Structure 1
Amino acid sequence: MTHIKMKSGDFTFTARLDEEGTPETSKWFLKQLPFKISVIQAAWSGPAFFTDLNWIGFDVPFEKATSYPLPGQVIMYPGDERGNSGEIYIPYGGNCFACPRGQLAGNPFLIITEGVEQLEVFGRKVRWEGAQEIAFEKVE
């Protein structure tokens, strides 16, 4: 079982990689490590923060895709031919994953197992203070 540490300032989260349920997304993600992203507040879906992937995951297939991720699930949206370039998306409240063009679905490839109770506090920080960097690294 692979664990990932997610760190942003004073916030640290530990997540379990769902290699069985999302094998292709997990392989893609492990190739990105160490991985740093800047997240911003989501505008269409509910309490969440996200980053644009700029097409780097476009070849990842949909696996166990959901439009209703739960707080503590980190999802990867590979992108589509309509111009959506893909996202890493992290909800901290009730959600229906969407964009201006309509409902989306993403692969829930990470499950936060430690620190999930701090997601809402971190989400409020993103909402009120702006973009925040998150670093992802494999826990050895």
Structure 2
Amino acid sequence: MDMLLITAGPYQFLAKFESNAPKTTAVFRRLLPYRKQLIHVRWSGEGLWVPLGDEDLGLAFENHTSHPSAGQILLYPGGYSETELLFCYGGVSFASKMGQLAANHFITIVEGNEHLRALGELVLWKGAQGVVFELADDDR
């Protein structure tokens, strides 16, 4: 199982790819290392997102959910709303101005969960933070 190191703002998280989202995982792995900015969601609750606009990653729905848990990362392949990553730090009901959405849960944070709320509040009160997704090595 390949592990990911996620550096978001001043925090680091160790995460794993979900085996029940193989197509989403394969597409995302080709993008690594992946560098973007996290901003706070507008409609969904306690989550951060990476807006990807009309970027077409060639994905469909695999194991989609509208109610992810803290520490889960989803990829919405586009359609009713723009393509995006959703990084959950608390209670989330995934939605847009168009209404409820569902996205592929393809990454789960397995270490560093104690920093999720602090990251979410940092982005909420201080603004966008850099995020880097990369394959973890043996040391981390």
TM-score tier by shorter-chain length is over 0.9
The 10-residue stretch of structure 1 (32-41 or 3-12) with the greater mean CA deviation from structure 2: 3-12
Native 8 Å contact 1:37 1:134 kept in 2: yes
CA distance in 1, matches of 2:15, 2:37: 18
Q: Where in structure 2 are there 5+ consecutive unaligned residues?
A: none
Task: Encode CA deviations 1:31-53: one digit per residue, 9 max, x unaligned.
Answer: 00000110111011111110112
Native 8 Å contact 2:27 2:57 kept in 1: no
CA distance in 1, matches of 2:57, 2:34: 17
* Counterpart in the other structure of 1:121: 118
Q: Where in structure 1 are there 5+ consecutive unaligned residues?
A: none
Native 8 Å contact 2:12 2:112 kept in 1: yes
> Are residues 1:78 and 2:98 paired?
no
* Counterpart in the other structure of 1:109: 106
Letter in 2 for 1:103: Q
Structure that is richer in strand per residue: 2
Percentage of pairs with the same residue: 36
Pair 99,9 (structure 1): closer, same or farther in 2 beyond 3 Å: closer
The two structures have a TM-score, normalised by structure 1, of 0.93
**Runs of 4 or more above 4 Å deviation:** none
* Counterpart in the other structure of 1:4: 4
Pair 74,27 (structure 1): closer, same or farther in 2 beyond 3 Å: same
RMSD: 1.1
After TM superposition, the structure 1 = structure 2 runs for residues 120-139 of structure 1, keeping only pairs within 5 Å, are: 120-139=117-136
Native 8 Å contact 2:73 2:107 kept in 1: yes
The two structures have a TM-score, normalised by structure 2, of 0.93
> Are residues 1:29 and 2:31 paired?
no
